[in-house]
């Protein structure tokens, strides 16, 4: 099944959470960015995304908390070449008491193309017992503000259909 077409203009309202120029170490035998580095880049982009809600390293440390990724889906749409300038935009899709469902969109700014999408379900975790736990109220309030803005967008997030919060 072919994913819905998302235009760069539709992505404009979404926050940019990460920027990177694809370095030489990302090159594979085909001369483009190896698939393993997509996940690395998305993992790095998750840090500033979660900081938008107050989930900083200092917050996690002070609360004995963290986050567990529960499921991922990466869709590769257009090649990324070494030296291409990339940016990652974030869109929240949904949440429950313990889980956040979100998407990241990797834009190849050098070529004006959507390179890839990443869909994730992440859970807040109480690291003192190594179990998922409800998000604290001060965090859900911040998540809900962004989620409401993203829900109001005039396009549907291209989710894979088998994941959810």
What is residue 119's predicted lDDT score, i.e. its pLDDT? 97
User: What would the pLDDT profile of 78-93 be if each residue is shown by its tens digit?
Assistant: 999 999 999 999 999 9
Q: Is 54 contained in some domain?
A: yes
Q: Is 164 contained in some domain?
A: no
What is residue 164's predicted lDDT score, i.e. its pLDDT? 74
User: What would the pLDDT profile of 122-153 be if each residue is shown by its tens digit?
Assistant: 999 999 999 999 999 999 999 999 999 999 99
CATH of the domain at 53: 3.10.129.10
Q: Which residue has the higher pLDDT, 164 or 79?
A: 79
The pTM score is 0.94
Q: Is 139 contained in some domain?
A: yes
CA–CA separation, 71 vs 120, rounded Å? Answer: 6
Q: Is 105 contained in some domain?
A: yes
Question: How many domains does the chain fold into?
Answer: 1
Among 95, 93, 152, 135, which Cα is nearest to 118's?
Answer: 93
What is residue 2's predicted lDDT score, i.e. its pLDDT? 61
Compute CA 129 distance to the chain's CA centroid, rounded to the nearest angstrom.
Answer: 26
Phi, psi for residue 25 in degrees, rounded to 5: -65, -15
Q: Is 123 contained in some domain?
A: yes
Residue 165 has pLDDT above 70, yes or no: no
Four-CA torsion 87, 57, 157, 97, nearest 10 degrees? 180
Among 115, 154, 111, 105, which Cα is nearest to 35's?
Answer: 115
User: What would the pLDDT profile of 89-130 be if each residue is shown by its tens digit?
Assistant: 999 999 999 999 999 999 999 999 999 999 999 999 999 999
Containing domain of residue 58, as a range? 8-151
What is residue 162's predicted lDDT score, i.e. its pLDDT? 77
User: What would the pLDDT profile of 8-61 be if each residue is shown by its tens digit?
Assistant: 999 999 999 999 999 999 999 998 999 999 999 999 999 999 999 999 999 999
What is residue 148's predicted lDDT score, i.e. its pLDDT? 98
Q: Is 1 contained in some domain?
A: no
**DSSP assignment of 11-80, as one string?**
HTTSPEEEEEE--GGGB-TTSBB-HHHHHHHHHHHHHHHHHTTT--HHHHHHHTEEEEEEEEEEEE-S--
Instruction: Report, in this order, helix, strand and coil percent for the chain, each rounded to 5.
Output: 30, 35, 35
Q: Is 30 contained in some domain?
A: yes
């Amino acid at each position: 099944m072919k994913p819905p077409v998302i235009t760069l203009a539709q992505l404009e309202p979404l926050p940019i959470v990460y920027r990177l120029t694809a370095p030489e170490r990302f090159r594979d035998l085909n001369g483009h960015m190896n698939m393993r580095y997509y996940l690395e880049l998305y993992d790095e982009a998750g840090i500033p995304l979660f900081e938008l809600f107050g989930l900083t390293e200092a917050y996690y440390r002070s609360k004995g908390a963290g986050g567990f990724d529960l499921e991922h889906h990466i869709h590769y749409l257009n090649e990324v070449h070494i030296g291409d300038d990339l940016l990652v935009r974030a869109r929240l899709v949904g949440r429950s008491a313990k889980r956040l469902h979100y998407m990241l969109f990797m834009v190849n700014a050098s070529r004006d193309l959507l390179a890839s999408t990443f869909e994730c379900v992440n859970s807040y975790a109480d690291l003192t017992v190594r179990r998922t736990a409800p998000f604290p109220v001060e965090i859900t309030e911040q998540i809900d503000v962004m989620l409401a803005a993203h829900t109001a967008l005039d396009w549907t997030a291209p989710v894979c259909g088998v994941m959810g919060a």
